Amino acid sequence: MFSLVAVMRNGVTAEVGITGREGFVGIPILFGARYASVRATAQSEGCGFRVGAGLFQQILHQTPHLEHMLRRYAYSQVMQLAQGAAYNCLHQIPQRLARWFTMSCDRSESNVLPLT
């Protein structure tokens, strides 16, 4: 599981999203950006693989179905971000923590969260 963290100019950070085995990090590269405005931080151990931005863009041009699927996932991340912002404005800390635990368990596919 990865936390997607926004970093402000003064160094202050805030988690803006999470992703797990259902998704990927690097959505800005999908849309041709050179740099991401968020940082991905591993929250639990697991396996994954890393693809450089140039190779990733090459693969996307060769596999339009993959690009379509990743864009659908990116859209779902945007909707999750919007819902999270609304939730954080409308609910108190216990409800926000419960939402975070629920989403984290969903991403890790476990009832145990061995966070780093």
pLDDT tens column, 62-86: 999 999 999 999 999 999 889 988 9
Count CA within 13 A, CB hemisphere, residue 5: 14
- Residue predicted with more confidence, 111 or 50: 50
Q: Using only the alpha carbons of the chain, give its radius of gyration.
A: 15
Indicate whether 55 belongs to any domain.
yes
- Cα gap 39→8, rounded to integer Å: 11
Residue 116 in any domain: the answer is no
What is the value of pTM for the model shown?
Answer: 0.80
Q: Quote the number of domains for the chain.
A: 1
* Degrees to nearest 5, angle at CA 78 with 84 and 11: 70
User: 64 lies in which domain range?
Assistant: 2-108
Tokens 């890790």, residue located: 108
Look at residue 113 and tell me if it is in a domain: no
Q: Is residue 114 part of a domain?
A: no
3-state secondary structure of 2: strand
Within 8 A by CB and 6+ apart from 32, the residues are 57
Instruction: Give backbone dihedrals phi and psi of 53, rounded to 5 degrees, phi first.
Output: -60, -45
Residue 113 has pLDDT above 80, yes or no: no
Residue 41 maps to a domain: yes
